[in-house]
């Protein structure tokens, strides 16, 4: 090997060793520095019937694509849950006022395409929750399917 190649290789080796030894941060320090840029997650708050006003369970409206899944969660604490959709207007010739039961669980997970909900329709979405006392609370929202 020529002297020039040996000098270049020795210099490269020396630079690599110095860069590794010259770093004062350990891997743990680097990770801690990175993680310090983010907020610590808090414990998830419970979402119970006692914590909410009936009119605030659902948002005023939901606009969803016909090819998506609509996922909504009602507050805990009820003994019975019912999700319904009532045809409001223009749902591919389905009569206005026709009502469909979408689910009877706290969580509604509805793949629109496999349901009675049709494309280009407007529906009145209602969740009814029965408390342990027998009281029924309801909230409604508009569901637009495009």
Q: Is residue 56 part of a domain?
A: yes
Number of structural domains, the chain?
A: 1
User: Residue 119 sits in which domain range?
Assistant: 50-145
**Residue of 102 and 44 predicted with greater confidence:** 102
For a pLDDT cut of 90, what percent of the chain falls above it?
Answer: 29
pTM over 0.95: no
Mean pLDDT of 93-103: 70
Mean confidence (pLDDT) of the chain: 81
Per-residue pLDDT at 67: 92
Q: Is residue 42 part of a domain?
A: no
Q: Is residue 1 part of a domain?
A: no
- The CB density around residue 70, as the number of other CB atoms within 10 Å, is 20
Q: Is residue 137 part of a domain?
A: yes
**Residue of 133 and 40 predicted with greater confidence:** 133
Q: Is the pLDDT of residue 27 over 90?
A: no
CATH of the domain at 79: 2.60.40
| In the block, residue with structure tokens 């006692």 | 50
Quote the CA–CA distance of 129 and 81 in Å, as a whole number: 5
Q: Is residue 8 part of a domain?
A: no
Q: Residue 138: which H helix or E strand, with range?
A: strand 136-145
Quote the CA–CA distance of 144 and 117 in Å, as a whole number: 10
Lowest mean per-residue pLDDT among 38-47, 87-96, 101-110, 126-135: 87-96
Per-residue pLDDT at 6: 80
């Amino acid at each position: 090997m020529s002297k020039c190649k040996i000098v270049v290789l020795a210099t490269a080796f020396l630079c690599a060793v110095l860069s590794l030894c010259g770093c004062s941060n350990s891997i743990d320090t680097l990770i801690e520095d990175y993680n310090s840029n983010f907020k610590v997650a808090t414990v998830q708050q419970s979402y119970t019937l006692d914590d909410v006003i009936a009119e605030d369970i659902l948002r005023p409206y939901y606009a969803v694509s016909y090819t998506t899944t609509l996922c909504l969660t009602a507050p805990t604490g009820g003994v019975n849950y019912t999700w319904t959709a009532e045809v409001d207007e223009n749902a591919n010739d389905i009569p206005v006022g026709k009502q469909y039961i979408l689910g009877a669980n706290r969580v509604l997970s509805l793949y629109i395409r496999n349901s009675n909900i049709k494309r280009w329709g407007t529906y009145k979405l209602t969740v009814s929750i029965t408390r342990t006392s027998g009281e029924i609370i309801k909230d409604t929202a508009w569901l637009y399917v495009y």
